């Protein structure tokens, strides 16, 4: 009976995938695309790619926490749109863009907190609660914008406002800095603080976590707040990049974020996954989109390819829990 | 400069002259799951094929942010000209500026761009189309007649402008009893129409902001006297006009739009000057003249 | 019917669980199967009933080489299996549960509820269980669910019944009922395979005993010709001293005192106190409300009224986090659903309640944390390769030690242990008792809820007895007897 | 020990809701809408409403089985579109419409079976597996239709073809008969046969189901096949009704179907729910859509109202399982 546990877990490809697989998949993908089209490796293209990835990555960082608790957030795209519309309106009203961004992000956090309250205290299943708020926030965005994009000279002639999503610092797009910054913060929060440990515990076994002193409800609210906040940050980038707040911005973004998280090896059942994986997952999706564009694959086939890539990655990671 | 709004370097100056078969044309369309824009693409591709021009067509799937990524990728592919059919005229501006910075001429198609430098805008006037629809409706429905409006996807450019044109022209002459969105979608056009008819059984006309919704709506309508007017002129819409199901369509010419767009690119690379606006024709199609268009 | 399993071997991946195990049973006998946690008893039975494929060996039924493709097939051949882990569907009515996948159908292919109900009730009557069969089974207590499992197996006209720790959740009363049933089954020629960690049961009920260790059959005895010492020796591979270690308590000040704790409809006016160095046992029948009292003290459930005093200070506990801050620890009755995060590492389980203590500059000091975990693992002799192993990969006894380690580590001065030795083998049991001794020597106050009357009488200082949510009295263990405790537990006066 | 269990579960509104609540909610809604607009109760409107509901209801019947197993099917809308496109193409090729419908439905079943295989044998989480196939089937639809609606005289002049979605039998729309027929079949399958029992078992406790000899994988494949099949039936109705197969038909229909199931009191965690509830859930959504149209509520506010109704229903049914 002594050291049986040593050899207990035999080598499995699934195990391997969830540890290193996403990275390997990303590298294979990059090599493949580069061979098929040299201009992929052009530094400028890589910078573009990173900027394109930043929005999905930011949302996915928040989604990672949510999914680790065994939850899901379908409302991120709507939160992105609504907070973007608020910020745009504030800028048009003459509020300095820095303040407007801050307010936008905080608003996003508040919407997220609302999700959290519904799930924690309302005991609503996350899927259905956030499906409902997705609709509500989207409707609110339409009402707020009256269905029209919000734009104006105060936005398009405002350096500070434009810089957030369009600017370059030392030749690197500013959104890339934001993505890296929040990656580091999210990484520390998840892997180095008690908040992260409690997130895992909650996803692994909420009842056991509660008995061990985790305040489940409080944690859930904070986690959805974080997801809302990060979606709003992504919303700021998008609004700035387009110099316009689109009422239908972010539709279906939750799906790309969830796909990034899952491609990164995180289990939808909760309790298992790494922030690094999610970053890689977002990059895989970004490289796929960018690469297929560069290769001139028609958008119809792009969808098929993307679906198959997700499927293959998930099938390799067989350790996904219950049906 | 450490801090700027433009990417670090952009090598490569663009020649002003290039033969048609050497040109590489990038196309970014708002969506390809709509027959109208498929026709635009066909217009571009037909002309390109005749002249041996290479095209690169991207589908933004009605997402402004995907479109800006698509255009980044087109710039990356160093195309000679980009034809953009924007998802949104405001949200496209930064992408147009990116292309400007890269020295790639931009042609807007069907919708304009509210900023940046454009070689030309090829478009039919959506506001005008809305107005024409209203005028036709007023010729069919007595003054003060009750009319329902099927609106497109909230926030979409075409929905806003067509609605604006129609409503300003109809303001004092028609009574618009209800406006409901059916998302430019045929199935929704049908069920929304059913429900509208229930609530407003005495309406005399329906204005649908596109053919798809009208094609759905006519399935719900049993009254042959009800006047249905829509905008676009896609093949199935014209068939419905022929059958008398739709009374009138303000038809645009998507293929002509596409042709005009790529021809503007040729003109530019032959050193000719290109006018700021290229209007693509619109015309009223009714049962009387439909055979001319179909 | 006669079953003969020869040279059975089984490995999960590289982990060899059964090397060469022989086991047989025939109609009309009760054959007990003994072995430490993780010895492979349940695995043997899973192989017999077609739930697992053996890697080698043969299974003969009535002399014929047999292989069951599924549990259903085994059951159709007259082999019924009462599982150790409850295999229930909480939301499903009791009746549907009992007939799952063997529903009786009408001529038209629809489910025949009337007929099914009649059969179920007949079988439940043998166990003296009367229940509304349309209520979800999840409403029942663990013990009641176990009774349903047994009734389910009686329904099938089985020739051989496998009982894998059937009494783990039962009260003395119900165990008595079960034994009556076993005896009458035996008389009818039914063979029983009986797996239990309770030594006294095996001598009461079994005819033969087989002991397994390290994937091998050690010995098979006629029960009459052997004794506890011999069997324990075979199980753990060495001699063991007394079953229960001696208590030499030195009581200190009162660590926890409750005053008229009430939760409407569940328990009422519970007042007791436990001192530093004391083990206070809580006894009572199943459903008496012991678990509920402890959950309320620990802040898992809400109290309607009453006060709690810890270490001389009245405290307000509204969730487990508060309780932990007041240095209370709680080993829950249900290890899998409330005690452990099975997919997480041992280390992550052990340090969870104490994690806030390892924060340095806002981050977890990993080294200090792991040192702490390793120290605890050593002190509680958790058998694992490393602290990074998944908790779910451990045997039952070791899992229980991990939960204990977690509460020892959080510095509990009051430790509530709800059924701490349920489903734990003799070796591990003894280690847990030794540990409890060590803790009380250091001044910890322990509340031990136990349904094992032997344990209550054998290893505590005082005994509190609950009956239908009321505290019937607290008696010193030294003067208590089986009878006196049972009288209180059944509502009688002392 | 005797009858303590009887009183164990005290009366809770959640309990009440999941038993009778959906029906009460529906009645309240109907009364409300009727008061605000009399024409709602017009028999013609009610028939229209039933026809409008039929598509969502059919999908929801299949979704109910899927959700009872604790799974989810996000690909139903894409299956609807793809099988509709096949059928339309077949009709155009001159295949008799009855045969074309049958083939379309079977195709839908096959796509569903594919989902089932991925989930049962691939051990992929249903959410992510069907998210991937959603994309793949949609892409395939675009490729198959080249992005254009499929239509033609062979469809619009074909009585048999048109009757399925547009016809009336004794004054009642034919799709209503289809809905009722499949409701009865689904009801019997779920509540009166062993297939239904096993479905509940699978959702309640898949391990225990396995121990009881339920062939989990086979069940899962059948259940997703059923969901695909019923989506295809809905697709037939839509294609016939529009006399045209739209490549983007059915986008986001999964959300309405899921909402119907959940409004009907079925828990997303699986193992608990009734077919009747799902029918009611679909009717609630139908009455909401129809009623808000009748009342002339702007589509912006319609979204908000719909979201709130879902939320309220779910909050009442607090017994939803784990976060
Ligand atoms: N499905 C499985 N996969 C991997 N290992 C397993 C599996 N089932 C059991 N084991 C391992 O096999 C060994 C024997 O387990 P088994 O459940 O048969 O023990 P047991 O004798 O019944 O113990 P207990 O008294 O605790 O019930 C243990 O080490 C266990 O971890
Ligand atoms: N989840 C629950 N919901 C409602 N009532 C419950 C629940 N769990 C237990 N009860 C009831 O509360 C009472 C006390 O049960 P409890 O589990 O505390 O008893 P116990 O003395 O610890 O017995 P056991 O030996 O079964 O643990 C019983 O009437 C029981 O049926
Ligand atoms: Mg066992
Ligand atoms: Mg208990």
Which of C75, C89, C110 lies closest to D200 in CB terms?
A: C89
Confidence of residue C72 (pLDDT cuts 50, 70, 90): confident
Q: CA angle, B7 as apex, B1 and B8 as ends, to 5°?
A: 50
B-D CB pairs within 8 A amount to: 75
- What's the CA-to-centroid distance between C165 and ligand 3, angstroms? 8
Helix, strand, coil percentages for chain D (3-state, nearest 5): 75, 0, 25
Are D238 and D164 spatial neighbours (Cβ–Cβ below 8 Å)? no
B219 in contact with D, Cβ within 8 Å: yes
Q: What is the mean pLDDT of chain D?
A: 88
- CA B170 to chain D, closest CA, distance in angstroms equals 20
C429 lines ligand 1 (CB under 6 A): no
Q: Find, among C418, C222, C255, the residue nearest to C337 by Cα.
A: C418
Q: Is D78 domain-assigned? A: yes
Mark whether C269 and C226 lie in a shared domain: no
Q: In Å, how far from its chain's centre is CA A158?
A: 27
Distance between the two ends of chain C, CA-based, in angstroms?
49
What pairing do the DSSP bridges indicate for beta strands C191-195 and A172-173?
unpaired
Classify residue C72: in a domain, yes or no.
yes
Do C219 and C262 sit in the same domain of this protein?
Answer: no
Closest atom, ligand 2, to C-alpha of C171: 25
Q: Spell out which residues of chain D touch residue C111, defining contact as CB-CB under 8 Å.
A: 192-194, 197
Would residue A307 count as lying in a domain? yes
Provide φ and ψ at C308, rounded to 5°. -125, 135
Residues of C in contact with A69 (CB under 8 A): none
Compute the 3-state secondary structure of chain C and give helix, strand, coil in percent, each to the nearest 5. Answer: 35, 25, 35
| A24, part of any domain | no
* Confidence at residue C25, expressed as pLDDT on a 0 to 100 scale: 94
Residue among A3, A197, A215 minimizing CB distance to C321: A215
The answer to the question of residue D98 being in a domain is yes
Rounded Cα gap, residues C435 and D214, in angstroms: 43
CATH code of the domain containing C68:
3.40.50.300
Residue of B185, B196, B215 with shortest CB distance to D293: B196
Residues of D in contact with C88 (CB under 8 A): 205, 208
Chains that touch B (3 or more CB pairs under 8 A): A, D
A247 CA distance to ligand 3 middle (Å): 59
Q: Is the CB of C484 under 6 A from ligand 1?
A: no
By most ligand atoms within 8 Å of CB, the mutation choice from C291, C335, C419 for ligand 2 is: C291
Q: Among C236, C269, C301, give the residue marking a domain's end.
A: C236
DSSP type of residue B251? E
Residue A13 lies in a domain: no
> Would residue D121 count as lying in a domain?
yes
Q: How far apart are CA C452 and CA C460, in angstroms?
A: 12
In a domain, D43, yes or no: no
Please list the residues that pair with C222 across neighbouring strands.
Answer: C208
Do C53 and C150 fall within a single domain? Answer: yes
Question: pLDDT at position C207, please?
Answer: 95
The set of residues, in sequence order, having a beta carbon less than 8 Å from that of C356 and lying 6+ positions away, is A194
Q: Is A60 within a domain?
A: yes
Query: Rounded to the nearest whole angstrom, what is the distance from the C-alpha of residue D119 to the centroid of ligand 3?
Result: 30
Tell me, yes or no, whether C248 lies in a domain.
no
3-state DSSP assignment of residue A215: coil
pLDDT higher than 90, residue D104: yes
DSSP D150: B
pLDDT digits (tens, 9 = 90+) for C166-200: 887 787 788 888 899 899 999 999 999 999 888 88
Which protein residue has the closest C-alpha to ligand 1 atom 8? Answer: C43
Task: Identify whether residues C220 and C260 lie together within a single domain.
Answer: no
pLDDT score for B15: 58
* Helix ranges restricted to H, D212-298: 216-242, 253-263, 275-294
Q: CB distance A258–D319 less than 8 Å?
A: no
Reported as a single tens digit per residue, the pLDDT across A224-267 is: 999 999 999 999 999 999 888 988 899 989 999 999 999 998 98
Exposure string (b/e) for B21-30, b if CB count within 10 Å is 16 or more?
eebebbbbbb
Q: What is the pTM of this model?
A: 0.87
Residues facing residue B285 across a β-bridge: B249
Nearest ligand, CA C163? 3
> In this structure, is residue C243 part of a structural domain?
no
Measure C376 CA to ligand 3 centroid, in angstroms.
26
User: Going by DSSP bridges, is the β-strand pair C216-222/C64-65 parallel, antiparallel, or unpaired?
Assistant: unpaired
What is the domain range of residue A272?
A: 49-322
Distance CA A88, CA B61 (A): 24
Shared domain for C328 and C456, answered yes or no, is yes
Chain C interface, best mutation among A12, A208, A266, A271, by max C CB count within 10 A: A208
Write the CA distances from C338 to A204, C88, C387, C408, integer angstroms.
11, 18, 20, 17
Of D120, D134, D310, the CB nearest to A128: D310
User: Residue C73: inside a domain, yes or no?
Assistant: yes
pLDDT at D17: 58
Calculate the CA C147 to chain-centre distance: 15
Contact across the interface for D147 and B216, Cβ inside 8 Å? no
CA dist B227 and C391 (Å) reads 72
> For residue C292, how far is its CA from the centre of ligand 2 (angstroms)?
6
Best residue in B59, B189, B194 to probe D by mutation, most D CBs within 10 Å? Answer: B194
User: Would you place residue D319 in the very low, low, confident or very high pLDDT band (cuts 50, 70, 90)?
Assistant: very low
Residue of A194, A195, A187 whose CA lies nearest to C365: A194
Q: Is A210:D323 a contact under the CB 8 Å cutoff?
A: no
pLDDT on residue A322? 32
Asked whether B85 and B28 are in contact (CB, 8 A), the reply is yes
End-to-end CA distance of chain D: 33
Q: Supply the angle between the helices C113-126 and C142-154 in degrees, to the nearest 10.
A: 110
What is the reported pLDDT for A314?
A: 81
Q: What is the CATH number of the domain that holds A70?
A: 1.10.3470
Establish if A200 touches chain C: CB-CB under 8 angstroms. Answer: yes
The tens digit of pLDDT for each residue in B188-219 reads 999 899 888 888 888 999 999 999 999 999 98
Which among C255, C299, C302, C300 is positioned nearest to C277, based on CA atoms? C255
SS3 D131: helix
Domain count for chain C, please give it.
2
| Residues 6+ away with beta carbon under 8 Å from D16 | none
- Written as six digits, the tokens of C83 are 């599982």
Residue in C with minimal Cα distance to A215: C321
* Mean pLDDT across chain C: 89
Other beta carbons within 10 Å of D80: 35
Min mean pLDDT across A91-105, C141-155, C343-357, D218-232 is at C141-155
Reported as half-sphere exposure (CB side, CA atoms, 13 A), residue A276 has a value of: 9
Is B61's Cβ below 8 Å from some Cβ in A?
yes
D204 pLDDT tier (thresholds 50, 70, 90): confident
Q: Is the pLDDT confidence value at A323 over 50?
A: no
Most confident of B15-19, B125-129, C141-145: B125-129
Nearest-10 crossing angle of helices A253-263, A299-316: 40
Contacts of C100 in chain D (CB under 8 A): 197-198, 201, 209, 212, 214
Q: Nearest chain B residue to D81 by CA: give it.
A: B187
Q: Which of A39, A173, A299 sits opposite B77 (nearest CB)?
A: A39
Nearest bound ligand to CA C43? 1
CA distances from C483 to C170, C176, C487, C490, D289 (A): 18, 15, 6, 10, 70
Contact assessment for residue C36 and residue C19, using Cβ atoms and an 8 Å cutoff? no
pLDDT tens, position by position, B217-276: 998 898 889 999 999 988 889 999 999 999 999 998 888 999 999 999 999 998 888 888
**Residues C15, A7: contact at Cβ < 8 Å?**
yes
The per-residue pLDDT for range C114-146, each reduced to its tens digit, is 999 999 999 898 888 888 999 888 888 777 888
Is the CB of residue A238 less than 8 Å away from at least one CB of chain B? yes
Mean pLDDT of D181-210: 91
- This model of the complex carries an ipTM of 0.85
Using a CB–CB cutoff of 8 Å, tell me whether A185 touches chain C. no
- C343 in a structural domain: yes
Is D206 a residue whose pLDDT tops 50? yes
Residue B32, min C-alpha distance to chain A (Å): 8
Count of structural domains, chain D: 1
Closest-CA distance of chain D to residue A96, Å = 29
Q: Do C71 and D200 touch (CB under 8 A)?
A: no
Tell me the residue range of the domain where C18 lies: 2-236
- On the CB side of D171, how many CA atoms lie within 13 Å of its CA? 4
What contacts C103, CB < 8 A, 6 or more positions away? C111, C112, C116, D194, D197
Q: Closest Cα to residue A162, out of A76, A109, A98, A90?
A: A98
* Domain identity same for C155 and C297: no
Alpha-carbon distance C154 to nearest alpha carbon in chain A (angstroms) = 32
* C66: phi then psi, degrees, rounded to nearest 5: -135, 150
Using CB atoms, pick whichever of D194, D205, D208 lies closest to residue C103: D194
CA atoms lying within 13 Å on the CB side of residue B142: 2
Instruction: Give mean pLDDT, residues B130-154.
Output: 92
CB pairs under 8 A between A and D: 166
Digit-coded pLDDT (tens) for C386-402: 899 999 888 778 899 99
Residue A3's pLDDT is 37
CA-nearest residue for atom 4, ligand 1, is C12
């Amino acid at each position: 009976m002594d050291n049986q546990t040593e050899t207990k877990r035999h080598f499995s490809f699934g195990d391997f995938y969830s540890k290193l697989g996403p990275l390997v998949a990303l590298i294979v993908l990059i090599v493949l695309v580069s061979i098929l089209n040299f201009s992929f490796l052009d530094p400028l293209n890589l910078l573009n790619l990173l900027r394109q990835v930043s929005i999905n990555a930011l949302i996915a960082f928040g989604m990672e926490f949510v999914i680790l608790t065994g939850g899901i957030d379908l409302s991120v795209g709507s939160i992105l749109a609504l907070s973007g519309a608020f910020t745009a309106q504030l800028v048009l009203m003459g509020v300095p863009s820095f303040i407007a961004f801050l307010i936008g992000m905080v608003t996003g956090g508040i919407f997220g907190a609302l999700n959290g309250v519904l799930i924690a205290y309302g005991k609503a299943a996350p899927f259905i609660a956030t499906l409902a708020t997705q609709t509500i926030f989207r409707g609110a965005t339409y009402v707020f914008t009256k269905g029209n994009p919000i734009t104006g000279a105060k936005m398009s002639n405002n350096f500070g406002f434009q810089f957030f999503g369009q600017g370059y610092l030392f030749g690197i797009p500013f959104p890339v800095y934001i993505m890296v910054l929040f990656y580091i913060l999210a990484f520390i929060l998840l892997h180095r603080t008690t908040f992260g440990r409690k997130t895992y515990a909650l996803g692994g076994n909420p009842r056991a976590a509660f008995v061990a002193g985790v305040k489940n409800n409080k944690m859930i609210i904070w986690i959805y707040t974080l997801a809302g906040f990060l979606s709003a940050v992504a919303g700021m980038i998008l609004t700035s990049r387009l110099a316009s707040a689109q009422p239908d911005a972010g539709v279906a973004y939750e799906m790309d974020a969830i796909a990034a998280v899952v491609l990164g090896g995180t289990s939808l059942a909760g309790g298992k996954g790494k922030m690094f994986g999610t970053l890689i997952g977002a990059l895989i999706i970004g490289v796929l989109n960018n690469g297929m564009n560069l290769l001139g694959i028609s958008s119809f086939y792009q969808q098929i390819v993307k679906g198959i890539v997700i499927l293959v990655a998930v099938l390799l990671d067989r350790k996904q829990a219950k049906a | 400069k450490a801090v700027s709004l433009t990417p670090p370097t952009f090598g490569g100056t663009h020649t002003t002259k290039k033969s048609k078969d050497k040109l590489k044309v990038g196309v970014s369309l708002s969506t390809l799951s709509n027959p109208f824009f498929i026709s635009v693409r066909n217009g571009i591709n037909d002309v390109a094929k005749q002249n041996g021009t290479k095209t690169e067509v991207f589908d933004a799937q009605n997402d402004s942010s995907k479109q800006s990524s698509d255009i980044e990728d087109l710039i990356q592919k160093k195309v000679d000209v980009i034809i953009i059919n924007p998802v949104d005229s405001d949200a496209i501006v930064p992408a147009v500026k990116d292309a400007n910075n890269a020295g790639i001429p931009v042609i807007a198609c069907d919708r304009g761009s509210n900023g940046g430098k454009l070689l030309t805008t090829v478009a039919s006037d959506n506001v005008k189309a809305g107005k024409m629809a209203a005028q036709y409706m007023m010729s069919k429905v007595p003054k003060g007649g009750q009319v329902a409006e099927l609106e497109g996807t909230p926030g979409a450019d075409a929905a806003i402008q067509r609605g604006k044109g129609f409503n300003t022209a109809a303001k004092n002459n028609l009574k618009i009893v209800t406006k409901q969105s059916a998302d430019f979608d045929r199935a929704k056009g049908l069920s929304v129409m059913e429900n509208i008819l229930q609530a407003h059984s005495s309406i005399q006309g329906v204005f649908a902001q596109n053919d798809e919704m009208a094609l759905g709506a006519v399935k719900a309508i049993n009254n042959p006297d009800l006047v249905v007017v829509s905008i676009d002129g896609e093949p199935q819409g014209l068939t419905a006009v022929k059958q008398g199901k739709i009374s009138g369509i303000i038809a645009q010419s998507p293929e002509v739009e596409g042709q005009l767009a790529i021809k503007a690119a040729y003109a530019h690379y032959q050193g000719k000057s290109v006018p700021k606006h290229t209007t693509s024709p619109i015309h009223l199609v009714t049962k009387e003249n439909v055979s001319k268009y179909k | 019917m006669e079953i003969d399993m020869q040279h059975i071997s089984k490995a999960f991946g590289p982990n060899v669980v059964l090397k060469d195990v022989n086991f047989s049973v025939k109609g009309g006998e009760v054959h007990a199967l003994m072995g430490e946690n993780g010895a492979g008893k349940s695995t043997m039975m899973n192989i017999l009933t077609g739930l697992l494929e053996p890697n080698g060996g043969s299974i003969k039924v009535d002399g014929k080489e047999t292989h069951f493709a599924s549990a259903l097939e085994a059951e159709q051949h007259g082999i019924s299996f009462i599982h150790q882990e409850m295999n229930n569907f909480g939301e499903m009515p009791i009746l549907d549960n009992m007939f799952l996948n063997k529903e009786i159908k009408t001529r038209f292919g629809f489910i025949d509820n009337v007929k099914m109900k009649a059969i179920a009730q007949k079988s439940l009557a043998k166990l003296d269980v009367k229940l509304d069969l349309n209520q979800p089974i999840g409403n029942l207590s663990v013990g009641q669910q176990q009774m349903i499992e047994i009734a389910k197996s009686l329904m099938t006209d089985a020739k051989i019944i496998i009982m894998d720790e059937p009494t783990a959740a039962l009260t003395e009363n119900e165990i008595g009922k079960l034994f009556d049933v076993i005896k009458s089954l035996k008389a009818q020629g039914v063979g029983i395979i009986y797996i239990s960690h309770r030594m006294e049961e095996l001598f009461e009920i079994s005819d033969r005993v087989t002991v397994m260790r390290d994937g091998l059959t050690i010995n098979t005895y006629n029960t009459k010709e052997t004794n506890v010492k011999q069997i324990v020796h075979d199980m753990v591979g060495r001699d063991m001293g007394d079953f229960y270690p001696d208590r030499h308590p030195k009581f200190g000040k009162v660590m926890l005192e409750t005053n008229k704790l009430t939760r409407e409809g569940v328990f009422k006016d519970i007042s007791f106190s436990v001192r530093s160095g004391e083990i206070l046992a809580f006894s009572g029948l199943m459903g008496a409300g012991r678990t509920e009292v402890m959950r309320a003290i620990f802040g898992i459930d809400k109290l309607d009224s009453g006060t709690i005093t810890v270490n001389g200070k009245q405290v307000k506990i509204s969730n487990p986090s508060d309780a932990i801050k007041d240095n209370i620890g709680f080993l829950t009755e249900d290890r899998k659903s409330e005690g452990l995060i099975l997919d997480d590492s041992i280390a992550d389980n052990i340090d969870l309640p104490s994690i806030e203590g390892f924060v340095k500059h806002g981050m977890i000091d990993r080294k200090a944390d792991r040192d702490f975990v390793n120290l605890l693992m050593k002190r509680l002799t958790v058998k694992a390769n490393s602290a990074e192993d998944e908790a779910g990969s451990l045997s039952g006894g070791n899992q229980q030690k991990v939960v204990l380690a977690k509460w020892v580590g959080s510095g509990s001065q009051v430790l509530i242990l709800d059924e701490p030795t349920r489903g734990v083998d003799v070796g591990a049991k003894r280690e847990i008792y030794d540990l409890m001794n060590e803790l009380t020597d250091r001044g910890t106050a322990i509340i031990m809820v136990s349904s094992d009357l032997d344990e209550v009488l054998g290893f505590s200082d005082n005994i509190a007895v609950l009956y239908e949510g009321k505290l019937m009295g607290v008696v010193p263990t030294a003067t208590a007897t089986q009878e006196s405790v049972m009288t209180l537990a059944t509502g009688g006066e002392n």
